[in-house]
Amino acid sequence: MTPTLILMVFESGRRRLQNVPTVTINNCVLQRVSKFKYLGHVLLPDLKDNGDIERERRALSVRANMLARRFVRCSHDVKVTLFRAYCTNFYTCSLWASFTRQTYNSLRVQYNNAFRMLLGLLRFCSASRMFAEARVDCFFATMRKRCASLVRRVRGSSSNILRMIVERMECPYLRHCSDISAGLCT
């Protein structure tokens, strides 16, 4: 069985190629796609991360619902531990650098609601208070820690190329991490 070969054409700014010629490799025509999951991260032609954030929002919803159903009778401490283990590990979130505020906020709301649902809290209780009382990182603290962790690992890398990229002050990713730390991605 021959695997399906695919092709994605990335946009440059506002330019979109309308007429992309047929591309073949070894007489196999590459199928053009508008969305592709690579190593679990959703790629889109506009290079925005909205698709991957939406994937993570849905996955968080599924995990939180499963935990709330299966562990409804557990103690508060057990539920907090489960939340930390299953609802705060946003795969590839430290790579998100280009997204809409609406998409990012929908993930934040899902995160807050997941915690409320798991602990059986009222729908409109204060998010900052509930996280503080449970000693759990809020959404923004979680995102800041993920970005800082990636920057720390890249800077500590033995690869000169990675260190050179991240130490450039105009590096878009460092600017993004600074924006997250300053709360500008809210």
User: Would you call 151 exposed, middle or buried from its count of C-beta atoms within 10 A (0-12, 13-18, 19+)?
Assistant: middle
Summarised one tens digit per residue, pLDDT across range 56-94 is: 999 999 999 999 999 999 999 999 999 999 999 888 888
Predicted confidence band at 133 (pLDDT cuts at 50, 70, 90)? Answer: very high
Beta strands (DSSP E) in the chain are 6-7, 24-25, 28-29, 31-32, 36-38, 41-43
Q: What is the pLDDT of residue 1?
A: 60
More confident residue, 159 or 168: 159
The residue written with tokens 């409320």 in the block is 116
Dihedral sign from CA coordinates of 144, 181, 105, 151: negative
Position 82 scores a pLDDT of 96
Assign 4 a pLDDT band (cuts: 50, 70, 90): confident
Question: What is the pTM (predicted TM-score) of this model?
Answer: 0.82
Q: Which residue type occupies 14?
A: R
3-class SS at 41?
Answer: strand
Q: How confident is the model at residue 186 (pLDDT cuts 50, 70, 90)?
A: very low
Angle between helix axes 101-119 and 139-155 (nearest 10 degrees) is: 120
What SS3 class is residue 174? helix
6-15, 97-106, 156-165, 170-179: least confident range: 170-179
**3 state DSSP class of 6:** strand
